[in-house]
Structure 1
Amino acid sequence: MTASHSASLLNDDLATAERATAPASPLVVERAETTEVRGSSVWRTRVLQVASVATAIGLWQLLTADKVRWWLRFDTLPTVTEIVREFGKQLQSDQFYVDVAQSLIRILTGFGLAAVVGVVAGIALGRSGLFAAVLGPLTELARPIPAIALVPVAILLFPSDESGIVFITFMASLFPVLVSTRHAVRALPTIWEDALRTLGASRTDVLVRVVFPGILPGVFSGLSVGMGVAWICLISAEMISGRLGIGYRTWQAYTIVDYPAVFVGMITIGILGFGTSGIVELAGRRITRWLPREVAE
């Protein structure tokens, strides 16, 4: 081995040692600190969420078990232990799962139709002057009408209660999706479309490459709101004209003064609504993860 080769190897070893012992760059340190802070913040948020729910449950048990009657009459409400006992009983019943499945089928059918129709109509209203002139006034006239007020119309219009309930759910979630999509289309910078058209893009290319990606945050905001409204109107419709479903079973429990079962129904509705809304929001975050975080949220 020559002296020059030995010197070269020695220099390489020294350079490697210097890189290994050199302090991390400020950017790497900052990213690590940001990740650590964000992780601790998430855990702190989770702990506070669990603590708030546990506190509310404990307070409910305390007030109802001691039959507190001070302005509000907690002595007429079931205790947490009674509700848990009734929940366990219903979880062992096949009827409970039939009602849950029926409500989920109705909500997914009505909401799914509203998502498709709302997005398509919202894009058309935002981009077509003719479509906006013809159908815009009709949508604005129908939008303020509560979907639950359409129950008499649904009873007269559809041959079965099932179709009517799906129709009410569809109408409840349609307008949040439609209006949010329309606003998102109109808010798109025109320079994006102009830049694509100068390159010879067709209308289809503009829709696929500009409109659809650009409106996704607004669309999922409307879908999230629409899911919540759909559950409200679905449960109301089931209470009025349904024969199966969580809303129908909750109302039946109220008519026979079975208050623990009423609260089981309410809790089940809350869990189902929370779960379906969470799925919509998660899908929105996944699909729009290529956007800057503040825009995607």
Structure 2
Amino acid sequence: MTTAPAVLGTTEPAVAVAAPTTAVRRRSWPSVLVRVFSVAAAIGLWQLLTAHDVRLWLRFDTLPTVGDIVTAFAHRLGAPDYWLDLGQSLIRILTGFALAAVAGIITGILLGRSSLFANVIGPLTELARPIPAIAIVPVAILLFPTDEAGIVFITFLAAYFPIMVSTRHAVRALPTLWEDSVRTLGGSRWDVITRVVVPGILPGVFGGLSVGMGVAWICVISAEMISGRLGVGYRTWQAYTVLAYSDVFVGIITIGVLGFATSAAVEVIGRRVTRWLPRGQEMSR
């Protein structure tokens, strides 16, 4: 149950909630085993279909077996360029995502709080939002002096709009009672922002950050395939052009692991920052 904003001058946040009555259930061993089994079953099915050259509309006989992919993965792990590509992709994604997070949260708050800003900037964001970020690659190539800056820009655009939209919706969904309570107690506009708006929008903001991270990975890999010189996406496409299909799957698996790790990091940070939320009935994911 949400309480009223705190009295000004205290250190307690304005948006406070009652402590959950039930502890969050931790993931049980049967749940972990089921998850592991599902992945192992998928790998086993892949090995079965590819090893026996199954062709049932889908042509598994043209794909590498699990053993071929594992061998290629072991070889790539020992190659210096693999780690160089991995580091390059991480630098691009983290730079673009960090810039998008800052810009998206600030503009989202302004769009939700300022009618003037919404009237001036809102139409521009709504016109640009439906355009896929990957469609801006030719513009980025012409606009920026280096491919590196262009790829970071594409990554920024991909993550920016989900973050901005989620933040804007979260701001507009805040109960006006909270703001009225702070103003009644003599609070300034800055008090409203720091004690009501920022704590209140955190769940929505982290939802947008999670979505933005996933979209950013899609676009950074696509941009690397089109105009990159280094990176996981570039190396994966290069492997395809020389018919090294095992290396293609090494790239795909690497992208999946990196995307999972970064998205999980955003979720963990979000849970820590919003640990005051009642999650007593929430299922562990």
Q: Give TM-score scaled by structure 1 length.
A: 0.86
CA-CA distance at 1:76 after TM superposition: 0.2
Instruction: Give the Å deviation of 1:45.
Output: 2.1
* Matching of residues 62-101 of structure 1 within 5 Å: 62-101=48-87
Match of 2:194 in 1: 208
1:176 and 2:162 equivalent? yes
Q: Matches of residues 163-242 of structure 1 in structure 2 within 5 Å?
A: 163-242=149-228
Kindly provide the amino acid, as one letter, of the partner of residue 175 in structure 1.
F
**Inter-partner Cα distance in structure 2 for 1:278 and 1:81:** 28
C-alpha distance in 2 between matches for 1:131 and 1:104: 34
> How far apart in 1 are the matches of 2:95 and 2:280?
32
1:292 Cα offset (Å): 1.3
Structure 1 regions of 5+ residues with no counterpart? 1-30
What code does the residue aligned with 2:260 have?
F
Q: Distance in 2 between matches of 1:278 and 1:290?
A: 20
Q: Confirm or deny that 1:270 pairs with 2:231.
A: no
Q: Is the 8 A contact 1:217 1:295 kept in 2?
A: no
The verdict on how the C-alpha distance between 1:110 and 1:294 changes in structure 2, with shifts beyond 3 A counting, is farther
What is aligned with 1:252?
238
1:46 matches 2:32: yes
Residue 111 (structure 2) aligns with: 125
Q: Give CA deviations for 1:132-184 in whole Å, capped at 9, x if unaligned.
A: 00000000000000000000100010000000000000000000000000000
Find the residue that maps to 1:257 and give its secondary structure.
coil
> Is 2:277 the counterpart of 1:291?
yes
Letter in 2 for 1:163: A
Unaligned runs of 5+ in 2: 1-20
Alignment partners' CA distance in 1, 2:282 and 2:85: 35
Determine whether 1:154 maps to 2:146. Answer: no
1:112 to 95, 98, 108: 98
1:23-62 correspondence runs (5 A): 38-39=25-26, 42-62=28-48
**1 CA distance for matches of 2:28 and 2:147?**
45
* Equivalent residue letter for 1:90: R
Q: Which amino acid aligns with 1:272?
A: L
Once superposed, what is the RMSD of the aligned Cα atoms? Answer: 1.7
Q: Which protein shows a greater Rg?
A: 1
Return the structure number with greater helix share: 1
Size of the aligned set, in residue pairs, is 263
User: Percent identity over the alignment?
Assistant: 71
3-state DSSP of counterpart to 1:293: coil
Superposition TM-score, scaled by structure 2 size: 0.90
Task: Give the Cα–Cα distance (whole angstroms) in 1 for the partners of residues 91 and 282 of structure 2.
Answer: 29
